[in-house]
Amino acid sequence: MTPEEVKKTGTTTLGMVCKGGVVIATEKRATMGTLIAHKETQKLYKIDKHLALATAGLVGDLQVLARYLNAEANLYRLKRDMRMPVKSAATLMSNIMNQRKFYPYYVQLILGGFDQTGGHVYSLDAAGGAIPDRYTSAGSGSPYVFGVLEDSYRENMTTDEGIELAVRAITAAKNRDSASGGMIDVAVITKDGFNQVPEEEIKKMMEKLEK
C-alpha cells in the first residue's frame, strides 16, 4: 500500500512530545469517498493509562489493531507488574502489521505515550515501519498539520501549549481538507496517566480561532 492510497481514506491525526508529556489529537469525521459517512467517529483510543493510539484508515482494521494492542498492554502489565514501555508497544504493533505486509491493514497509526524514559511518539505505516519523532501527523489532512507544526512547534513547550497548537493544526486541516471535519479529540499523557481534554475546552479554543 502506498502513502497516497492511505491518504485517500481521509482523516487528520497528530502526536507531539511536549515538556512533561505527550499530546495526541484527531478530528472525528469519517468519509466514504465524497460521502460524510459519520460526523462523530472515534479515532483516538486509550490503550492503557500511559498509551494512546491515533488512527487513520479503515475503521474495521483500526478497531481490531486497537483491541490487539490494548489486550497485549494489559497482559504485559499483569505478567510483569509494570506498564509496557512505549518503544515495546511500537515494536509489537510494527511486528503485527509487518506480518500482514502482503495483505496489509489499511491504516496509518500514531502511537504516543509516557514511560520511565519520558514521552514518546511513533509513526507506524501499513508495512510495519515504526519511526520515533518529536511530532508527526497522518491522514489526508497531514500536509496542513505539518505546515503548522513546522512553523510553531518547540521542543520545550508545555502540554497546555501543545493542546492549543494541536487544536490550531487540526483546525487548519479541517478548513482545507474536505475529508476532515467535526469535533476534535485531544488527549494528554503524562507521568500521572491519560487525560482526555474536555470537549467544552476544545470548543472554546476552536471558537477563539474563528475570531
Region of residue 157 (left: phi > 0; alpha: psi -120 to 50; beta: else): beta
pTM of the model: 0.92
Could you identify the residue written with the cell 499530546? 23
Res 9: pLDDT: 58
Instruction: For helices 142-152 and 159-176, give the axis angle rounded to 10 degrees.
Output: 140
Residues of the chain with pLDDT under 70: 1-9
Res 181: pLDDT: 87
Res 37: pLDDT: 77
Res 30: pLDDT: 81
Res 6: pLDDT: 46
Distance between CA atoms of residues 69 and 53, nearest Å: 9
The DSSP code for 84 is P
pLDDT digits (tens, 9 = 90+) for 61-89: 999 999 999 999 999 999 999 999 999 99
Catalytic positions are 11
Q: Which residues contact 85 (CB under 8 A, 6 or more apart)?
A: 115, 116, 117
Structural class in CATH, domain 3-210: alpha beta
Angle (CA) 137-141-142 rounded to 5° is 25
Angle (CA) 136-138-144 rounded to 5° is 80
